A and B are shown apart, each in its own frame.
Chain A
């Protein structure tokens, strides 16, 4: 099961080469995103993950908020 991450966790993990992924649609990513984040919309995750995410490094996913 995925580990819940706080803001401080994200800052620490990114410093440790974690991959930061916004899973919202591309337009919302273009509007605003966390520094260094890449965009893989949820609907495209299964197809895009193998080519864009390194399984040997941690992955942090986020969207807008709790919803």
Chain B
């Protein structure tokens, strides 16, 4: 639709016309703010915990276990230098007594959702799939945070009450 709009504007005499073809789907999936009735406050990014621990592939599991435990978490995301999610260390890996490399202990390529995913859809998904959390990443794979089911459920309830 936007190419037709751009073309029409040019026929109307507008000389400097740009077409953002990727549109608001691209904007939202990059974690950038959206306004409107279902703007950013109703999306995953606004409610994700951004303090979730991260580690690098070449760290030792024991080092990471201490850091994650001290921070009060039971999960950790393995990211590269650009913050792109490579894997996840869950409760089992973080509770292991084996002195492994993170690369061996992690679960590869965890399933993620986009920052602009609608909160109510994610709550339904977490309930259906019995998930306690969902990692939120941008369209280029960078970690935004971790959406906890409890947080998301509370937020959906709060938003519903505000609309009544």
Which of A's residues lie within 8 Å of B, judged by CB? 1-7, 9-10, 13, 18, 21-24, 29-35, 42, 45-46, 49-50, 53, 55, 57-67
Contact = CB atoms under 8 A, between A and B. Distances in A.
Contact of A62 (B23, B35, B36): B23
- Judged by DSSP, the binding face of B is mixed
A28 to B, nearest CB: 9
B18 A58 contact: yes
B35 A65 contact: no
B19 A46 contact: no
Given A23-B1, A67-B1, A61 B18 contact: yes
Q: Which of A9, A53, A65 has the most CB of B within 10 A?
A: A65
Contact of A49 (B7, B9, B30): B9
Q: Which of B5, B12, B16, B37 has the most CB of A within 10 A?
A: B5
Given A45-B9, A49-B9, A65 B18 contact: no
Given A7-B30, A32-B36, A46-B8, A2 B22 contact: no
Given A2-B18, A7-B22, A32 B39 contact: yes
B24 A22 contact: yes
B63 interface: no
A57 B16 contact: yes
Contacts of B18: 2-5, 9-10, 13, 18, 58-61
B32 A62 contact: no
A6 B1 contact: no
A30 B34 CA distance: 11
A60 B8 CA distance: 13
Interface in B1-25: 1-10, 12-25
B34 A34 contact: yes
7 nearest CB pairs, A to B: A2-B6, A62-B20, A65-B25, A5-B18, A58-B16, A23-B5, A63-B1
22 contacts: A1-B10, A5-B19, A9-B18, A10-B27, A21-B5, A23-B5, A24-B1, A30-B37, A32-B34, A32-B36, A33-B34, A34-B34, A55-B15, A58-B16, A60-B18, A61-B2, A61-B6, A62-B24, A64-B25, A65-B23, A65-B24, A65-B26
